[in-house]
Structure formats: C-alpha cells, structure tokens
Chains A and B, each alone.
Chain A
C-alpha cells in the first residue's frame, strides 16, 4: 500500500520567518512528486511537479527539493507572509504513474501571523 506522509501537520509562524516542511513517499518505483497549495475556500493549485533526484524548483519565495533515493521532499518558504497561509499538499502518483491519479498526503497547514 502506497503511503504519503507529511510533517508537521500544522505550523504557526510569524511574518518574516522562514519555514520548511517534509513529504515522505515510497522510494521504490519513483515517477514524480507533486506539491499543491490549498487556500481555504479555494481549489488546490499546483506549485511544483518534480521528477529528477536532486531536483530543486523555485517559485518566488517558495522552493522545493527532492531526494528520490531516500524518499523525501522538502518545501521551503523564505520570509513567510500572511498570504502564504494555506495547506500544502504533496502527492505521489499511483498505478506506476501511467494514469496520473495521485495519492495525497494529509497536508501541512501553515498559518502566518502578521
């Protein structure tokens, strides 16, 4: 059974703090690792899709790294802002990745206080 674990479950930081959280996934038969950002009352939106070991992707103040051999990915937010408050989901393709459907972690809920 494939399992995707995220930690911590929730995080409270002050504006300007930098933070990071973890996604753990099966290291065998790796195809891709997805990160989504989900704001309350909105739809989840893709941040990154990572496919290569050692890959690092960046979007503004948010970046992610990938270690496929040990089965983890880190998401970093530099200088957190209140608008970064959201739940961050990671997801791993099931069925060998051929059909795109994803197993999601439970998410890390980030709250940034002004």
Chain B
C-alpha cells in the first residue's frame, strides 16, 4: 500500500516564486493535514481538511493556500515564496471519523528551501 505520498521530495525556490505541493492518500481517509517542521519546533499545523471541498486554517496558515478538490488529494500552495517558508513539510491523513483517538498517517516529507 502506498499510504500517504508527497511530491516533490525536495525543491529549491527563489524568493517570490510560487509552487504547489501535492499530497495523495489511498486509504479513503476523510481528514487531511499539512504540517511544517522547523529546527527546535514541534510539527505545526498549517491547514487541514475534514472532507472533500472543505479546508480550514491551522496554527500557521499565513502565506499558504490549500485545496481539496478530490478526497484523496490535498494541495498546499505557496503563492510568493519567502525565506521564512524554508522548512520540511509533512502531509498527514486520518481515519474516516477523524476523532481524537485516531492516529495520523504521515507522508515522507518535502524539504523546501527558499533562497
């Protein structure tokens, strides 16, 4: 099983450029999330989705947009990249009910550098 797949795995952007990170899951999960991981910080939630066509802001949403046009895909967009967005990005998904007791399944991460 593929689980949660993120593309690309690595990317270098120039300041001001835009890009989209793709997350795909094949587990029929309703809930999907985008986190960023920075040195000395825990995983911080950027945006999340509780179902196809829905999105919501997380802890650190500024500078990012998301879309969930299909249940299996969750896209994270950077319209105008800034050096502060240099980070490792993780996508995750969780079970249909998505309650507090359901574990999250993570992708392998995307390392983004903005120069």
Contact = CB atoms under 8 A, between A and B. Distances in A.
Interface of A: 4, 31-32, 34, 36, 42-46, 49, 51, 89, 91, 93-94, 96-107
Contact of B98 (A44, A94, A99, A107): A99
Contacts of B102: 49, 100
Interface residues of B, number: 30
B103 interface: yes
A43 B90 contact: yes
Nearest to A50: B101
B2 interface: no
Given A46-B104, A94-B45, A96-B100, 18 more contacts: A32-B100, A43-B90, A44-B43, A45-B106, A89-B42, A93-B100, A97-B99, A99-B48, A99-B56, A100-B98, A101-B31, A101-B45, A101-B48, A103-B59, A104-B35, A104-B43, A106-B41, A106-B42
A43 B42 contact: no
B81 interface: no
Contact of A46 (B40, B48, B103, B109): B103
A43 B101 contact: no
